[in-house]
Amino acid sequence: MIVQTAGQCGLARDGADSQSIRTLYTDHHHWLQGWLRRKLDNRYDAADLAQDTFLRVLAGRNTASIIEPRKYLATIANGLLIDRFRHQRIEAAYLDALAARPEPLDISPETRTLILETLTAIDRMLDELGSRTREIFVLAQFEGLTYAAIGERLGVSITTVKKHLVRALTQCLLIAES
Protein backbone atom coordinates (compact mmCIF):
# COMPACT_ATOMS: atom_id res chain seq x y z
CA MET A 1 0.00 0.00 0.00
CA ILE A 2 1.53 3.28 -1.13
CA VAL A 3 0.44 6.52 0.45
CA GLN A 4 1.88 9.69 -1.02
CA THR A 5 2.01 12.79 1.03
CA ALA A 6 1.22 16.17 -0.43
CA GLY A 7 4.92 16.99 -0.53
CA GLN A 8 5.70 13.84 -2.54
CA CYS A 9 3.13 14.86 -5.14
CA GLY A 10 4.62 18.31 -5.41
CA LEU A 11 1.67 19.99 -3.71
CA ALA A 12 2.18 22.56 -1.00
CA ARG A 13 0.13 21.69 2.08
CA ASP A 14 0.09 23.16 5.51
CA GLY A 15 0.41 20.88 8.55
CA ALA A 16 -3.32 20.84 9.37
CA ASP A 17 -4.28 19.96 5.81
CA SER A 18 -1.69 17.15 5.66
CA GLN A 19 -3.05 15.77 8.91
CA SER A 20 -6.63 15.88 7.62
CA ILE A 21 -5.62 13.97 4.49
CA ARG A 22 -3.75 11.41 6.56
CA THR A 23 -6.77 11.00 8.84
CA LEU A 24 -9.14 10.74 5.86
CA TYR A 25 -6.94 8.04 4.35
CA THR A 26 -6.47 5.97 7.48
CA ASP A 27 -10.13 6.22 8.53
CA HIS A 28 -11.72 5.49 5.14
CA HIS A 29 -9.28 3.77 2.77
CA HIS A 30 -10.27 0.25 3.82
CA TRP A 31 -13.98 1.08 3.52
CA LEU A 32 -13.49 2.67 0.07
CA GLN A 33 -11.49 -0.26 -1.20
CA GLY A 34 -14.22 -2.68 -0.03
CA TRP A 35 -16.91 -0.53 -1.66
CA LEU A 36 -15.00 -0.55 -4.93
CA ARG A 37 -14.27 -4.29 -4.69
CA ARG A 38 -18.02 -5.00 -4.47
CA LYS A 39 -18.63 -2.85 -7.54
CA LEU A 40 -15.74 -4.22 -9.60
CA ASP A 41 -15.48 -7.78 -8.27
CA ASN A 42 -11.70 -7.41 -8.53
CA ARG A 43 -9.54 -6.47 -5.59
CA TYR A 44 -6.60 -5.26 -7.68
CA ASP A 45 -8.68 -2.83 -9.72
CA ALA A 46 -10.42 -1.74 -6.51
CA ALA A 47 -7.05 -0.98 -4.90
CA ASP A 48 -5.96 1.02 -7.97
CA LEU A 49 -9.16 3.06 -8.02
CA ALA A 50 -9.00 3.68 -4.27
CA GLN A 51 -5.49 5.09 -4.70
CA ASP A 52 -6.64 7.19 -7.67
CA THR A 53 -9.49 8.52 -5.53
CA PHE A 54 -7.13 9.63 -2.80
CA LEU A 55 -4.82 11.20 -5.35
CA ARG A 56 -7.78 13.27 -6.55
CA VAL A 57 -8.50 14.28 -2.95
CA LEU A 58 -4.85 15.13 -2.48
CA ALA A 59 -4.90 17.34 -5.57
CA GLY A 60 -8.04 19.09 -4.30
CA ARG A 61 -8.19 21.93 -1.87
CA ASN A 62 -9.24 22.27 1.75
CA THR A 63 -9.81 18.65 2.76
CA ALA A 64 -10.40 19.74 6.34
CA SER A 65 -13.81 21.09 5.30
CA ILE A 66 -15.16 17.71 4.12
CA ILE A 67 -18.32 17.07 6.14
CA GLU A 68 -19.30 13.60 4.90
CA PRO A 69 -16.03 11.86 3.99
CA ARG A 70 -17.49 8.56 2.74
CA LYS A 71 -20.04 10.28 0.55
CA TYR A 72 -17.30 12.58 -0.78
CA LEU A 73 -14.96 9.66 -1.50
CA ALA A 74 -17.76 7.59 -3.06
CA THR A 75 -18.65 10.47 -5.39
CA ILE A 76 -15.06 10.80 -6.58
CA ALA A 77 -14.63 7.02 -6.91
CA ASN A 78 -17.92 6.70 -8.78
CA GLY A 79 -16.73 9.29 -11.31
CA LEU A 80 -13.52 7.31 -11.75
CA LEU A 81 -15.58 4.12 -12.22
CA ILE A 82 -17.66 5.77 -14.91
CA ASP A 83 -14.48 6.91 -16.68
CA ARG A 84 -13.07 3.39 -16.42
CA PHE A 85 -16.23 1.75 -17.81
CA ARG A 86 -16.42 4.31 -20.62
CA HIS A 87 -12.80 3.60 -21.53
CA GLN A 88 -13.46 -0.16 -21.47
CA ARG A 89 -16.52 0.25 -23.74
CA ILE A 90 -14.52 2.30 -26.24
CA GLU A 91 -11.68 -0.22 -26.17
CA ALA A 92 -14.12 -3.13 -26.67
CA ALA A 93 -15.81 -1.36 -29.59
CA TYR A 94 -12.42 -0.72 -31.17
CA LEU A 95 -11.41 -4.37 -30.78
CA ASP A 96 -14.78 -5.49 -32.20
CA ALA A 97 -14.26 -3.22 -35.20
CA LEU A 98 -10.81 -4.71 -35.73
CA ALA A 99 -12.20 -8.24 -35.43
CA ALA A 100 -14.95 -7.45 -37.96
CA ARG A 101 -12.44 -6.47 -40.60
CA PRO A 102 -12.04 -9.15 -43.22
CA GLU A 103 -9.00 -11.33 -42.99
CA PRO A 104 -6.47 -10.78 -45.74
CA LEU A 105 -7.14 -13.30 -48.48
CA ASP A 106 -4.54 -15.94 -49.13
CA ILE A 107 -4.45 -16.34 -52.88
CA SER A 108 -3.37 -19.42 -54.72
CA PRO A 109 -0.06 -19.51 -56.58
CA GLU A 110 -1.98 -19.66 -59.88
CA THR A 111 -3.96 -16.51 -59.04
CA ARG A 112 -0.82 -14.77 -57.88
CA THR A 113 0.89 -15.64 -61.20
CA LEU A 114 -2.09 -14.32 -63.19
CA ILE A 115 -2.10 -11.07 -61.21
CA LEU A 116 1.63 -10.58 -61.73
CA GLU A 117 1.33 -11.33 -65.44
CA THR A 118 -1.53 -8.83 -65.77
CA LEU A 119 0.39 -6.16 -63.89
CA THR A 120 3.45 -6.78 -66.07
CA ALA A 121 1.32 -6.46 -69.20
CA ILE A 122 -0.23 -3.22 -67.93
CA ASP A 123 3.22 -1.87 -67.11
CA ARG A 124 4.50 -2.79 -70.57
CA MET A 125 1.42 -1.21 -72.17
CA LEU A 126 1.91 1.99 -70.15
CA ASP A 127 5.54 2.15 -71.25
CA GLU A 128 4.43 2.01 -74.90
CA LEU A 129 2.00 4.94 -74.51
CA GLY A 130 3.00 8.55 -74.89
CA SER A 131 3.43 10.46 -71.65
CA ARG A 132 0.14 12.41 -71.98
CA THR A 133 -1.85 9.26 -72.86
CA ARG A 134 -0.23 7.35 -70.00
CA GLU A 135 -1.01 10.14 -67.52
CA ILE A 136 -4.65 10.37 -68.63
CA PHE A 137 -5.05 6.58 -68.45
CA VAL A 138 -3.61 6.44 -64.92
CA LEU A 139 -5.80 9.33 -63.73
CA ALA A 140 -8.93 7.67 -65.15
CA GLN A 141 -8.25 4.05 -64.25
CA PHE A 142 -6.32 4.23 -61.01
CA GLU A 143 -7.38 7.53 -59.47
CA GLY A 144 -10.96 7.30 -60.74
CA LEU A 145 -11.13 10.87 -62.01
CA THR A 146 -13.86 11.92 -64.43
CA TYR A 147 -13.04 13.16 -67.91
CA ALA A 148 -13.85 16.71 -66.81
CA ALA A 149 -11.60 16.44 -63.73
CA ILE A 150 -8.75 15.06 -65.81
CA GLY A 151 -9.18 17.82 -68.40
CA GLU A 152 -9.20 20.46 -65.69
CA ARG A 153 -6.14 19.05 -63.96
CA LEU A 154 -4.12 18.77 -67.18
CA GLY A 155 -5.51 21.87 -68.86
CA VAL A 156 -6.94 19.98 -71.86
CA SER A 157 -10.43 19.57 -73.29
CA ILE A 158 -12.72 16.64 -72.56
CA THR A 159 -12.40 15.66 -76.23
CA THR A 160 -8.63 15.40 -75.83
CA VAL A 161 -9.07 13.25 -72.72
CA LYS A 162 -11.44 10.93 -74.60
CA LYS A 163 -9.06 10.68 -77.56
CA HIS A 164 -6.14 9.67 -75.32
CA LEU A 165 -8.26 7.17 -73.39
CA VAL A 166 -9.40 5.53 -76.65
CA ARG A 167 -5.76 5.21 -77.64
CA ALA A 168 -4.84 3.69 -74.25
CA LEU A 169 -7.77 1.26 -74.20
CA THR A 170 -7.04 0.18 -77.76
CA GLN A 171 -3.48 -0.58 -76.68
CA CYS A 172 -4.86 -2.64 -73.77
CA LEU A 173 -7.03 -4.67 -76.16
CA LEU A 174 -4.09 -5.32 -78.49
CA ILE A 175 -2.01 -6.62 -75.59
CA ALA A 176 -4.90 -8.73 -74.29
CA GLU A 177 -5.28 -10.40 -77.71
CA SER A 178 -1.60 -11.24 -77.96
CA dist 121 and 129 (Å) reads: 13
CA dist 75 and 121 (Å) reads: 69
Domain-located, residue 50: yes
| Residue ending a domain, choose from 55, 78, 100 | 100
Using the 8-state DSSP alphabet, how is residue 18 labeled? H
CA dist 93 and 97 (Å) reads: 6
- The pTM for the full model equals 0.49
Domain count, the chain: 2
pLDDT tens digits for range 41-99: 999 999 999 999 999 988 876 777 788 999 999 999 999 999 888 888 888 888 888 78
CATH number at residue 131: 1.10.10.10
Taking the CA atoms of residue 53, residue 59, residue 60 and residue 62 in that order, the dihedral angle to the nearest 10 degrees is 110
